[in-house]
A and B are shown apart, each in its own frame.
Chain A
Amino acid sequence: MADESPEVPEDLAKVANEKGIPLDLMRRALALGFPAEAVKQQIQAPGADAEQAEKFIAEQERIRAGGEITLSEELVKSAAKNGWPEELIKRALALGAQAEMLITQMEAGIRPEQAERFIAQQERMRDAAARGEQVLDLSWMRVPTEWGIRVRPGKKGLTVGAINVGSYASVPDVWQYQSEMPRGAHPIPGIAAMGYSIYEKVDLWADNAADLYEEAIQRRWRPATDIPWDSMEPLPDEIERSMCQLCTYFCEKGLLAGDIVGKWLPEMSYGYHEVKLYLSTAEFDAARQFEVFRKRALSNGGGMGMQSPGYFHRAIIDTRVWTEASVVLHILSNSFLIGMYQVGEYVAHNEAESLIFRLCMQDVSRQLAYGVQHLKQFLLRKLDKRAEIHSYLNKAEAVMTHEEEQDTPLREALIILLGGGVSKEQILDGVRKLEYFKRRWVRDYVARLAAAGLPERRERLHPLLKKYLEEPTAAQAAA
């Protein structure tokens, strides 16, 4: 009489041998109707060994022979809470489902009718395989994720925020998966970790991230064709040189912002895709900032100017946690950047420059919006971290003000642009206006921090910034 035990496929046998699991155990698993591919995935999972496999298969054989299935207290509790009949749980366990996995799925909002469809399909597959029939493994079609979602476009179209419905709207406080699995998908065991380091919502979240992503996509612009480049005319040499120096500075800022976001994106786990999506657009915005200012510098008879000292750049690059990077880049650095864009628009000599600066203001203000909202939720959830944020800002403000003192080309370029030239009167006018604008920049920076939940920063500012919050006369006397 021929041996009727199933043959173990070569690839499964290879994995079993590598894991030290006897082939006989594999034959017993296949005889129970488990697909060879599923068995292979199970034994490939970290921690799977011969003892565990023997225990699992023996339990399955006992159940198939009519043995009673007992449910743990935790499983019964979760089933009752989520409306899953105990009979359904027993059918799932009879198919080899792990109790922990079932609890995870119930808590994730998988409805009992969805689970029933999946389980019935698996039972059909198991029975067909047991009869030796050739069948497709269609289990993936009955994936126990929330199904039947049909979101309709709203006034803004079909947005990322709008499709956050049902269980897909649930953003966990901690993302437990280390792979690239999208939120709401069904995990499979044995997937290699991707090396993310940010798994807690509090460390990156901002409620406005999905809206900012859509806003960035909707309000995108093309420097090559959207800017009226032919509106530019030759400018006095000192004005062209000053504008080009400013453009050089903005090019550096663009590259830096792209590098910082690019460095942190791979650290962020996939559970918080709204933030990852928005920051991807921020990175694109940074590239466009570089592009448009390089184009401006090289399109009106000028060229690139001098490099900036870069102390502040290094301070941002060296940040150790994302919240620190975000506060320093998005709120501190960008508060002054948007102020300079405002000045750029104010001193624009043609429609091209005016539009460039207005559009760049829009882009960088989205980063400010993310930064403020992220800091706000961070401070609300991590009450003990307030002093840490001040510590980050103490360091960053000190480096930034030092950089400002050292960056003579930038300061003089701003003075010349604001004064309109290099005569004595124009320089005096430029100096006066620059001081006036700095007061506004500091005022707006402090207002943003207050909106983020850090109003006391006003009193703890670096002295070289704080002087701008004082009355102009008092500030002059103190200078």
Chain B
Amino acid sequence: MPQETKVKATFPSIEWFNALRDIINDDDAYKHIGTCDAVVGVKMPDAKKYFLLTFEAFEVLEAKEVSETDAEDSDFWLEMSDARWQEMIKNIGENGKADLRHTLNTIDLEEEEGFARSNDGYRRDAFYRFNQSFQHFFDSSAKIDTKFA
């Protein structure tokens, strides 16, 4: 039986997010969760890396590297230290998906300022409304052979 070949990408990079986008857009399980409409920023302040993910209907429309300001011009952005980001991605890679201590929600509660942050109390709720889609999105990074920068 042929072994599954994983795509290789370095985290954090636009190549890594594009690889994840491609995996999701070819994933019926993601579509089965239902439509998801949100613009989500990703912030790694230590590495000064910022991304913007556009979720639309049944796909991830776009992933792009942006400025910090642009990452905050979103429904909400996900922000924590580089070490915590690495811990989460590694945990997903090791378990095939986030274990109970590394779900987006659990991390959100553990971060004093929250993992999901926003300038708008209504738009931030997109984190809850589409939570399972976002969890599935990051869980799918287990299909990437991730190297850390």
Question: A218–B35 contact, CB under 8 A?
Answer: yes
Name which residue of chain B comes closest to A354, CB basis: B100
Interface residues of A, count at CB 8 A: 42
Which residues does chain B contribute within 8 Å of A338, judged by CB atoms? 128
Question: A155–B58 contact, CB under 8 A?
Answer: yes
Q: Does B67 contact A (CB under 8 A)?
A: no
A360: min CB distance to chain B, Å = 10
B79: min CB distance to chain A, Å = 16
| Bound Cα distance from A247 to B81, whole angstroms | 35
Q: Which of A154, A342, A362 contacts B132 (CB 8 A)?
A: A362
Which residues does chain A contribute within 8 Å of B109, judged by CB atoms? 342-343, 346, 437, 440
Q: Does A449 contact B (CB under 8 A)?
A: yes
Question: B105–A218 contact, CB under 8 A?
Answer: no
Which residues does chain A contribute within 8 Å of B128, judged by CB atoms? 338, 361-362, 364-365, 368
Interface residues of B, count at CB 8 A: 26
Question: A450–B131 contact, CB under 8 A?
Answer: no
Q: A215-B35, A218-B35 are in contact. Are A346 and B105 (CB under 8 A)?
A: yes
Q: Which of B37, B57, B105, B121 contacts A450 (CB 8 A)?
A: B121
Question: B34–A215 contact, CB under 8 A?
Answer: yes
Q: Which are the 3 A-B pairs with shortest beta-carbon distances?
A: A447-B121, A219-B34, A218-B34
Apart from A219-B35, A448-B125, 10 more pairs, CB < 8 Å: A154-B57, A155-B58, A211-B37, A215-B35, A219-B130, A342-B109, A345-B103, A351-B100, A357-B105, A365-B129
Sampled A-B contacts (25; CB under 8 Å): A155-B56, A156-B35, A156-B58, A215-B129, A218-B34, A219-B35, A345-B103, A346-B106, A354-B103, A358-B103, A358-B131, A359-B132, A362-B132, A364-B128, A369-B122, A369-B129, A372-B121, A437-B109, A446-B121, A447-B124, A448-B121, A449-B121, A450-B121, A451-B120, A452-B122
Q: Report A's interface with B, CB cutoff 8 A.
A: 154-156, 211, 214-215, 218-220, 338, 342-343, 345-346, 348-351, 354-355, 357-359, 361-362, 364-366, 368-369, 372-373, 437, 440, 444, 446-452
